[in-house]
Each structure stands twice: as C-alpha cells, then as structure tokens.
Structure 1
Amino acid sequence: MRPAGKRSFPLNADQRDAAQAWVDFGERTPSKPRLASSVVLLKDSPTGVQTYLTYRPGGSPLGLVAFPGGTVEPADDDVTDWVGPSPVQWAKSLGTAKVEVAKRHVVAAIRETFEETGVLLAGDDASSLVEDVSGPEWMKARESIAAQESTFAELLDRRGLAMRTDLLKPLSHWLSPDFAHRRFDTRYFAAARPVNQEPELLASKGVWGRWVSAADILAARSTSALGDEIGLESTVGLTLGELLVPGVEIILEKLATARGCIAYLNHKRPINEYQPTLVADHDGNFALEVEASPASEGAACRER
C-alpha cells in the first residue's frame, strides 16, 4: 500500500532501461535538466473542455503523447516584443527569483506552440491578436524557425507583432526523475485557442494531433484506444499511462472536472513543483511515484 498523498504511474518503455541502469550501477549525480515549456491549448465544446494533444517522436521526455511544447532555445533571449505581465511579474507567478529563466519559459511556450500547431499568441498591441495564421507563408515561417534557419524574434519584428503573454496562465512545474538520461525542467501553461486560429501540424514533422475531450480520453485510459488510433509501432497496444508522462495525465484529470475554459483559466492555483521518484515492488517492477499536494488536489475539486 502506498503512503497517503502519493500516486504511482507506470514507466514507459524508454524509461525502463534507464531505471534498471540507475539501480544496477548505483545512484549517481543526475544529469542537469534542460529548460522546457509546454502549453495546454483549450476550447469549449458540447462535451466539455477540449485540449490539443500531439504525438512526439524520438522518445521525448515529455511523453509519446503530450501538449505542444519543447526546450528553451538560446534565441529565445532575443525576443523583446512583449506585452502583458513583465518578466519580473512572470518570475513571481512561476515562483522563481530568476527573472531571465522565467522570461525564457514564457517565450519558449509561445514559440513552441506556434512552431508545432501554428497557433500564435501575438498581436499588434495589448488589445489585438493575429486572426489568421494559415497558408503557405505562415507554414514556411514555422518550418524556418523549427529548423533554426530564422528566429521567432525575427518573425515578430518582421510582422510588427508582440507576444501576448497575458494570454498564458501558469499551471505547474515538473522535473524529470533523477534516473532519466534526458531530463527536463518543464513549466506547463494554459491558453485558450484564439478566435479564428485552428491548430495545424508542422508539415515536415507532424504525425498526429487533434482536439480531445479530457473526460473521454480518461474514460478509456485502461485501453489502448488512443495508441491504436495514432497507429504507430511505438504506440499501438499501449495504454494511456504508457503514452503520457505523469504531468500530462494529472492535467487531463483536472481538465475533465473543469466547468469550462474561462473557469479553468481564471482559477487561482498554487504552482507546485513535482518530481517523480523511482520505486520498485518486491518483484523488482518499477514505477514512478509522485507526491500529490493536498493544495493541488483541492484545487482540482473546486474546478468542478
């Protein structure tokens, strides 16, 4: 029986070898995590709140299926076209004294969402928002940024746009487990889908992505329905817990109880830091254990 307040999650296939090596060769200094950001895009629907999930190739530490996101890049420091809460205010919201780190997380969140889905949280000023980002020119710009042939800062400058940081809401802070070969220090944010913008996968890298009902996805969590739908060798036959990292699964659980996008985005929640730890049963089977904060669990209930 696990201690009260703790939850157990399965390891995915990529983590099992790393976990076994961690145990076999003795615990050692974990690798330094890379900064990353991920954005939970939201929209209301007749069946409840929906969010946009994508397949992530290459054994991403964010999971095989995740919200749009990725690592902070050096060029993110070049972005100065900014409206909404200042980097200092964002540092306070994220619970860090490192203003530059907070700024990088926010820039990466908006840039990665644009790269992966084409949804752009930017406008001419604090009261405007780009309405149509479809078409070959926008796709070409996304491909260029993803290939690091140009920067997000250059795109904003060229089009006279500023990031709308006020459209992001902080959700949670997750650190990869110590045993992982590739570790992320990930900040999760939420944002409503802008009017007249619809996600479109990156032409060169997109494999699978769609709006999902959090409640429907969770209802089938013990089956391989989602993995089979994606239809790749790396996903077929896997249950939801084997496709997602704990952070994504917990966010989906909270989304499933939300009354709507506005209620979810306006909810005041503590920005708790989570880090799964490796545990093993008497038979040597590994799992990830997460300390569930009473404050965060209560918040989930109040979003009903």
Structure 2
Amino acid sequence: MPRPASSVVLVRDSPQGMETYLGYRSGDSPLGTVAFPGGSIEAADDEDLNWFGPSAAKWASMLGLTDHRQARAHVVAAVRELFEETGILLAGPDESSLVEHPAGEEWMAAREAVAAQDKGFGEVLARRGLGLRSDLLKPLSNWLSPDFAHRRFDTRYFAAAQPVNQQPSLLASKGTWASWVCARQLLAGRETSSLGDLVGQEDTRGLTLSQLANPAVEIILEKLAAARGTVAYLAHKRGVVKYHPELVLVDGTPMLEVVANFAAEDGAVQRSR
C-alpha cells in the first residue's frame, strides 16, 4: 500500500519569474532525487495541537477526503516537514500573526528533535505558545506513485508563500543541497544537466530535470512558470485532481504516462491523459 505523504511547494516572486525551493534527497525517494520539502505522515501528526484556519472538515472537503482526521494529518505533516527541512514555520501566536525569525541554535535543535522524533511537533509549538496556521497552505494536487514502484507514496501537494522575516536553511544533520530556483529558467534548461550539475552530487551530475525529478515536480514547475505571480498562483481555485503515472510502451520503449482523474460536480470521475 502507498504511504500517505505531504509535500509543500514554497514560492516567492523574483524579477525573473516565480521561484520555488527545491532540495536534494538521497536514496530512492518516491518524491524524487530533487524535490519539494516533504515526507510521509507520522503517527504523531494525528496528535492534538493548537490550530488556526480552516477546520479539519473543511480541509477534508478541499482535499476530496471523507476522513477528517486523515485530512488534518496531511496538513500537519506538510507544515511539520516544511519546518524540519527548511526551518520555515507556518505557525503563530494567533490566527493573524506569524512567528518571526525562527532561526539560530535553539530553533535548529527543535528541528533536529522533531526530525528524529525525539519531540512532537505539537510540543514544540505549545512550548512557544504557537498554533499551526493551516490557512497559509493551499491545496494543489494528489499524486499516487506508479504501481510498479518499490516504494510508493500517496502524496498531497500544498503551496505556501515564503513568510516575511523567515529564510529557509538546511537541516544541520541531514541537509546536503537546497536552493531557490526560477521555474521558468529551470524549464528552459530542462534538456541539459544544469540542475544536476548545480546540485553537484554523484547521483545528480550530468542528469536532466526529468531524470532527477518525478512527474509531479515537473508539472508543478510548468504551472509555476506560467503563473502571473505568487498572489495569482495561490489565489487560483483548483478542483480535486488525482494524478497516477502509468507505465506504457511507446514504439517499444517503456515510458511513464500521467493519468489525471478529475472529480466532477456529480461525483463522477473523469480521466485525462
């Protein structure tokens, strides 16, 4: 069975176009070798914590889920993983405020403790009088790993703007490479090894975007490149779309074909390839 997971597309504007934050993931991660911050849901993501923004029931509706607890766990996992991997914390003391400058040794220690599961994310927030700002996340899409994959994720992708007075940084114990990249420029060089060479790891040098990233990352990058800016991108209303890459033969060559399932208003499912 695929493991439920969450991933966050962190975005900001630049003179060259919209930028997003990508990082290197060692090993054979279902999210890709170069991917957005994210990971699988953990048992602690179901624990109580202070919460601001849309309710779990509202999130279940937005994500096309019937299980409110599962929807809530996806949101918590998204915010937690973003905090662990980048230090960006979508939390504040109330529903209209956001913590500023969550950096320095104390915050890094908190990130390390959460990543090692030595402390719960809710505990870290509670000790600082903070609540999770679920309203700062926007749902994007749902990606199911191919059936033939050895490790499979059922991943919910979310988007969030880079908060003012917060800067991403690598996790001290695990971080290898991460950077802001311009979606438009990255796609312009997608057939070259520019990204793989920039990451500079043994398993990335000389590889193209398609060889480093899974189809979800590429399609999201395409949408970012076409967007008119962060505000427009985050404000855009999206229906529930579930993508499922399938293995097909094209002139005898195995290739991945992305199948999209759109939830219609009458509850029926429409498929697009």
**Do the aligned partners of residues 223 and 294 (structure 1) sit closer, same or farther apart at CA in structure 2, a change above 3 Å counting?**
farther
CA 1:75 to 1:292, structure 2 compared with 1: closer, same or farther past 3 Å?
A: closer
1:231, CA displacement in angstroms?
1.1
| SS of corresponding position for 1:289 | strand
TM-score computed with the length of structure 1 as normaliser: 0.85
Choose the corresponding residue for 1:112, options 63, 69, 81: 81
What is the deviation of 1:226? 0.5
Note if contact 2:23-2:179 (Cα within 8 Å) is conserved in structure 1: yes
- Map Cα deviations across residues 88-115 of structure 1 (whole Å, 9 max, x no partner): 0000000111111101100000000000
Match of 1:79 in 2: 48
Kindly report the root-mean-square deviation, in angstroms, between the aligned alpha carbons of the 2 structures: 1.2
Q: Which one has more relative contact order, counting CA pairs under 8 Å at least 6 apart?
A: 1
Is this contact kept in 2: 1:48–1:260, CA < 8 A? yes
Calculate percent identity across the aligned residue pairs: 63
Could you tell me which residue of structure 2 aligns to residue 291 of structure 1? 259
* Superposed counterparts of 1:136-215, under 5 Å: 136-215=105-184
- Distance in 2, Cα, partners of 1:245 & 1:231: 19
Aligned to 1:228: 197
Alignment deviations for residues 56-114 of structure 1 (CA, whole Å, 9 cap, x no partner): 11111100000000010001111321000000000000011111110110000000000
One-letter identity of the residue aligned with 1:189: F
Q: How many residues align?
A: 263
User: Which secondary structure does the structure 1 equivalent of 2:18 belong to?
Assistant: strand
Aligned partner letter, 2:131: A
Aligned-partner SS, 1:45: coil
Provide structure 2 residue ranges, at least 5 long, that are not aligned to the other structure: 264-273
**1:127 corresponds to which residue?**
96
How far apart, in 1, do the equivalents of 2:259 and 2:116 lie? 38
Counterpart-to-counterpart distance in 2, 1:253 and 1:163: 29
| 8 A contact 2:241–2:262 mirrored in 1 | no
Which residue pairs with 2:65 in the alignment? Answer: 96
Q: Runs (4+) of structure 1 moved beyond 4 Å?
A: 292-295
Instruction: Report the TM-score, using the length of structure 2 for normalisation.
Output: 0.94
The AA in structure 1 aligned to 2:112 is E
Larger radius of gyration: 1
Q: Which structure 1 segments of 5+ residues have no match? A: 1-31, 296-304
Q: Contact 2:4–2:155 (CA<8 Å) still a contact in 1? A: yes
Contact 1:79 1:107 in 2 (8 A): no
Per-residue deviation at 1:270? Answer: 1.2
The 1-side partners of 2:262 and 2:120 are apart by 41
2:124 match: secondary structure:
helix
In structure 1, the residue corresponding to 2:11 is in which secondary structure? strand
SS at match of 1:276: strand
